[in-house]
């Protein structure tokens, strides 16, 4: 909003940005889910389950810097977003790194946006854990020959 002139010029007090379109679906529309919606819901539950499993393992094992590992496992998600605007006939693909982002399908009157995500933090912890367990197995095998 532009305010009245002051000292010979116009100044901006604030501005408000609102999207022109809003998502069509609500929480009550689960009865109208298509196979794609159910796939996204199952994928989100699998991501949550994997992240919680890695979180429990991290708490049990308490590796070095385990508090930071917990935050990393819970918060860091990444993936790809695909937007298709039917009105503009435009396809936009972007890579994302978010905190607490899960797969979803957003349907707008002007198009569709799909977010496909993976729990980066949990995957990194899982890979580090596998690398550490292989190193321990290697050490145990070498010591068994003595």
pTM above 0.85? no
Give 30's strand partners: none
pLDDT tens for residues 21-59?
666 656 666 677 778 778 888 888 888 899 889 889 888
Name the pLDDT band for 140 (thresholds 50, 70, 90). low
Owning domain of residue 57: 29-144
Residue 2 located in a structural domain: no
Strand order, beta sheet including 104-108: 90-99, 76-85, 111-118, 104-108
| Dist CA 103 CA 75 (whole Å) | 14
pLDDT of residue 108: 76
Looking at the 3D structure of the chain, how many domains does it have?
1
Residue 111 forms part of a structural domain = yes
Q: What is the pLDDT of residue 24?
A: 60
4 found inside a domain: no
Q: Is residue 74 part of a domain?
A: yes
Q: φ and ψ at 101, to 5 degrees?
A: -110, 130
Confidence class of residue 105 from pLDDT cuts 50, 70 and 90?
confident
> What integer is the mean pLDDT of 64-74?
85
User: Is position 12 within any domain?
Assistant: no
Distance of alpha carbon 54 from alpha carbon 45, whole angstroms: 14
Q: Is residue 11, in this structure, part of any structural domain at all?
A: no
How large is the average pLDDT for residues 69-90? 82
Q: Mean pLDDT over all residues of the chain?
A: 77
- Domain contains 133: yes
């Amino acid at each position: 909003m532009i305010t009245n002139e002051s000292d010979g010029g116009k100044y901006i007090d604030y501005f408000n940005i609102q999207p022109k379109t809003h998502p069509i679906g609500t929480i009550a529309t689960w009865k109208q889910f298509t196979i794609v919606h159910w796939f996204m819901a199952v994928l989100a539950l699998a991501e949550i389950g994997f992240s919680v499993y890695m979180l429990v393992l991290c708490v049990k094992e308490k590796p070095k810097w385990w508090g930071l590992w917990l935050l990393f496992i819970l918060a860091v998600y990444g993936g790809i977003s695909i937007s298709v605007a039917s009105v503009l006939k435009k396809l936009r693909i972007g890579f994302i790194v978010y905190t607490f982002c899960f797969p979803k399908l957003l349907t707008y009157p002007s198009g569709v946006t799909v977010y496909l995500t993976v729990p980066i933090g949990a995957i990194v912890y899982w890979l580090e854990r596998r690398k550490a367990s292989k190193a321990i197995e290697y050490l145990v095998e070498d010591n068994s020959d003595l």
